[in-house]
Structure 1
Amino acid sequence: MVLSKQISLHAYTLTEMEKQLLRNLLDYSDEFEYKNFTIEFISEQFNVSKTSVHRFTQKLGYESFVYFKDDYFNRDVMSKTSQEEPNQYVDMLKHTYELVNDSISEDLLIAMIQAKRIVIYGMGMSNFLGKMFQIKLQLFGKTVEQFDDSRYMRLSAKSLNSKEDLVFVLSRSGKPPEIVEAIIEANFRKVKIVLITEEPKSPLGGLSDFIIQTSFSKDSDQAIDTRINAHVALDVLMNRFIERKEKEVLENDTKSIDPQQGE
């Protein structure tokens, strides 16, 4: 229960004395400590009987004073925040890590290495992740273009080359019509598509050659989605790409030292 909600539902049942007690409790809330907050303490502090305090909490819809006390000090919310939500958050990230690791194939890593140009499509908040991914790839020598405007996506799709380009799409839902239109154009040109999404069974999923799936994230007014799952996916992918690229460099160096190994 939440104290403010209980007050809004039951305040009309309070007597004038009880309403004054409620005002006092709200006004002086910063001065009280949970361990000393008892019926006896309230009775002495505000010069009311212990029976009146007990009746007051019952009128607010509480079965016992302890429940009222916990709500008064917001202990239910604290418990949920400190125990349930972090566990759910950590579980979501672990699930994403497992899904992403399973989704990244050797063929995808080779396609990234061989691509002469990587093109990234992402709208809304995904656009910022796309920019970060672009910079990381550029630091490793890749030619990368990134688009978040539907018009430029369509135009860029018409210039894609199947022998040189690889397209990455960042989309939670896998169905923005603006991106779908651009990816259809890319399909006509037989360009390989990599989709990072929570919804593999989606319009974009059906048009993609590689799908990196993440766990589902939840939006709410209190915790606006940050695309953390996609961020984890791109981070894992980048690390796997670097490892594969370094492995290829090492193999090429070994072959140059001992040409017979390449035969």
Structure 2
Amino acid sequence: LAIRKNEEEVLKTIQLQSIGQIEDAVQKIHNADKIYIFGRGFSEMIAKEMTIKLQLIGKTCEVHDDPNIIRLKSRDIDKSELAIFVSLNGETAELVEACQNLSMKQVTTITLTTRIDSTLSKISDMTLVGYKGEQSFFPDYEVRSRLSLHVIARILLDAYVIRMK
């Protein structure tokens, strides 16, 4: 059951990806003077991994997971920069507020999420959506699997490295 659940999450997430959309996101990453990645809770680990990988390939990138810093930073980001949000449900208040701030300033935003109908998806310039199964082995806690977000992040960064070589 555990193996099948994870296999389903990976395969369905891959099927949801569009080559054109991945290419657009790669171009936005390439063109950005600096990249900010925002994540909260268990999504922080994906945000941190993305940041390190982007730094390793020479992109100026920083990650933020503190709600107050996310809110403040979103007011300072420049039009030549890019913001990436990692959010399982796309409703985290400080991420939504940050995306709204950036939208008003016409800063490009990319969201990695499992909910296309979320507030973050609706206000973000681009949304890369992953599959989220219905079953949770920890129903009392907000610790659902972020495997699909990992898969999207990996596809995006692999595509970036391939494209830029």
- Tell me the TM-score normalised to structure 1 length: 0.58
Q: Take 1:133 and 1:85, find their aligned partners in 2: how far apart are those partners?
A: 26
Runs (4+) off by over 4 Å: none
Please, which runs of 5 or more residues in structure 2 have no aligned partner?
A: none
Q: Which residue of 2 aligns with 1:240?
A: 159
Q: Which residue of 2 aligns with 1:202?
A: 118
Please, which runs of 5 or more residues in structure 1 have no aligned partner?
A: 1-83, 247-263
> What is the RMSD of the two structures over their aligned residues, measured on CA atoms?
1.7
1:110 to 22, 27, 30: 27
Cα deviation, residue 102, structure 1? 4.6
Q: Which residue of 1 aligns with 2:15?
A: 98
Structure 2 contact 32–82 (Cα < 8 Å) conserved: yes
| Greater strand proportion | 2
Structure 1 contact 103–211 (Cα < 8 Å) conserved: no
| Greater helix proportion | 1
Q: Which residue of 1 aligns with 2:86?
A: 170
Q: Take 1:139 and 1:118, find their aligned partners in 2: how far apart are those partners?
A: 13
Q: Percent identity over the alignment?
A: 26
1:143 maps to amino acid: T
Residues 1-263 of structure 1 correspond to what in structure 2 (within 5 A)? 84-102=1-19, 104-162=21-79, 164-217=80-133, 218-221=135-138, 225-246=144-165
Cα deviation, residue 232, structure 1? 1.0
Q: Take 1:200 and 1:102, find their aligned partners in 2: how far apart are those partners?
A: 17
- Tell me the TM-score normalised to structure 2 length: 0.90
Structure 1, residues 82-102: CA drift from partner, whole Å, max 9, x if none? Answer: xx4422321221111221345
